[in-house]
Amino acid sequence: MNKINILFFATMRDHIGEKRISIDVPGNIQVQELKTILADRYPNAAGALEATLVSINREYAFAEDVIPDGAEVAMFPHVSGG
Amino acid sequence: MTEFPTIFSITEAELDLNELLKQITLPSTGAACFFTGMVRGETHRDGLPPQTEYLEYEAYAPMAEAKMKQVAAEIRERWPTVEGIALVQRIGRLYPLTPTVLIACTAPHRDTGVFEAARYGIDRLKEIVPIWKKEIGPGGETWVEGKYTPKPEE
């Protein structure tokens, strides 16, 4: 079992209804697999989870990237600073 | 070799442009280019009321500061004559006329890229630095979403 901490920002926080969660997953899963797990848990957020940007340990991450044990994952929409 | 100052921060405090200029000015500096953006109180667009009451900014601060540091490194790679660099984003509830962001670059002379470097800095901040804003106006709340999808190694 791996533990993953997930932060949600902006519209993703609104969709999920939480700022941060911690979940146990079976070993080293990929970003795409994590999205599927979350879509099962938060069915109303399934569409948003498809489109979300993802970071692992504060670097952008993509569908096939592997999430290490204890990682800090974040999910958020396209950025709009300035 | 002189260590050139690089300032990057997410802050809730008012932006002090004079103080930031001091921090990126060296004895060899002869030029500074500042870009600052502010909350626009009126925007004319189809079918929507023009007024903005305020913007609510948030950031994923540790990643945002890491990405600002990366943007500063990209500026140094492209414009080696740039001396000081400052990238600062203010977050929280910000009202019209208020500066929200500052990108500033200094160099010995104006003609070796400081204008382009500051422009590059604000463009990259809007692409890859994890900051978001929500507009609050008479019609309610609307999240502003960017369009850029970062690529691997960004």
pLDDT tens-digit map of A13-60: 999 999 999 999 999 999 999 999 999 999 999 999 999 999 999 999
Distance from CA of B3 to the nearest CA of A (A): 26
Q: pTM score, two decimals?
A: 0.95
Give the number of domains in chain A: 1
Note the pLDDT of residue B47: 77
- Which among A60, A76, A82 is the nearest to B126, CB-wise? A82
Q: Does B62 touch chain A (CB under 8 A)?
A: yes
Note the pLDDT of residue B63: 98
Residue A82 lies in a domain: no
- For chain B, helix (H) and strand (E) counts, in that order, are 3, 8
Query: Residue B63 has which token pair?
Result: 């990643």
- Which among A55, A78, A81 is the nearest to B89, CB-wise? A81
Q: What is the pLDDT of residues B123-132, one digit of tens each?
A: 999 999 999 9
Summary mean pLDDT of chain B = 95
In CATH terms, B6-49+60-142 corresponds, of 3.90.1170.40, 3.40.309.10, 3.50.50.60, 3.40.50.2300, to 3.90.1170.40
B146: Cβ contacts below 8 Å, ≥ 6 apart: A77, A78, A79, A80, B126, B127
Q: Quick check: helix, strand or coil at residue A44?
A: helix
Q: Does A79 touch chain B (CB under 8 A)?
A: yes
Closest chain B CA to residue A57: B63
CA angle B129, B133, B137 (to 5 degrees): 165
Look up the CATH number of the domain holding residue A36. Answer: 3.10.20.30
Residue A28 lies in a domain: yes
Closest chain B CA to residue A14: B143
Distance from CA of B30 to the nearest CA of A (A): 27
Query: Residue B107 has which token pair?
Result: 């160099």
Q: What is the pLDDT of residues B71-82, one digit of tens each?
A: 999 999 999 999
Q: How confident is the model at residue B154 (pLDDT cuts 50, 70, 90)?
A: confident
Q: Which residues does chain B have within 8 Å of residue A79's beta carbon, measured at their own beta carbons?
A: 126-132, 146, 148
